[in-house]
Amino acid sequence: MALTTTLLGGTAAAANSTAPAAPTALVAPAAPAREETPCTARTGPYQRPLERYLQRPVDGVQSIADCEAIRAFQRTEGLTPAEGYADLATYRWSVTLEARADPNAAGHCPVRAHRVTCVDLDRQLLWVQQDEKVLFGPVPTRTGRDSQETRLGWQRIYQRSRDHVSTLYDNAPMPYAQFFNGGQALHGRPDDLYDGGGSAGCVNLRLADAEQLWNLLGIGDQLYIWGVKPGTAGE
């Protein structure tokens, strides 16, 4: 029978020799696997597009496998609540991820030698580009609701207010506000970005995104806004 050897201090010693055996390492018992809570979320309003994005059968009806796939996606991306429900926030994040490779693939945002902040109302996305290089984003947004639509076309940042509080809407906080047309501004939203049907015309951003955009842009920077916000009368 072949001898098994163990290296002791750099010297091979036969396993059947009289050399003292190495102490056996103590191995902690493996922790019991956490039992997964059954995924029971019902069919959500964005079931079909999320099924398509996650490469599930597209039938618009929640199955256990659909629920588990959506929940796994929500957990991976840090979305809450991660319950497997096909909600607006999860759908909007999937749109953001799809756009990352080339947000301006359709060519709707004009390419210029200077910085242009692109606001796509159709997909509710914002990014900053210079020539064909993307400097920031894309990130999700919330734009104007019916009768308070975000104004289209070329705009220019003319005023900035880091800790702005609205004088029009009950002292609502508008952190990192960068005004581009009247009372309309790019700014952070401290609460849920998707709460409510839309903004009062501003381009709402998550706080972290608004702060990064604040640090990138300045007075005189140009925006280009196009499209129609989903769910509005102009759609």
Q: 109-161 pLDDT, tens per residue?
A: 999 999 999 999 999 999 999 999 999 999 999 999 998 899 999 999 999 99
CB 125 within 8 A of CB 141: yes
Mean pLDDT of 2-29: 44
With 0-12 / 13-18 / 19 or more C-beta atoms within 10 angstroms meaning exposed / middle / buried, residue 202 is buried
What is the reported pLDDT for 147? 87
What is the reported pLDDT for 204? 96
What is the reported pLDDT for 26? 53
pLDDT tens readout for residues 91-123: 999 999 999 999 999 999 999 999 999 999 999
Look up the pTM and report it: 0.82
Contacts of 109 (CB under 8 A, 6+ apart): 103, 116, 118, 120, 127, 129, 224, 226
Distance CA 64, CA 79 (A): 19
What is the reported pLDDT for 92? 96
Res 60 pLDDT > 80: yes
Confidence category of residue 4, pLDDT binned at 50, 70, 90 = very low
Structure tokens at 101: 């490779």
What is the reported pLDDT for 2? 41
Mean pLDDT of 28-55: 85
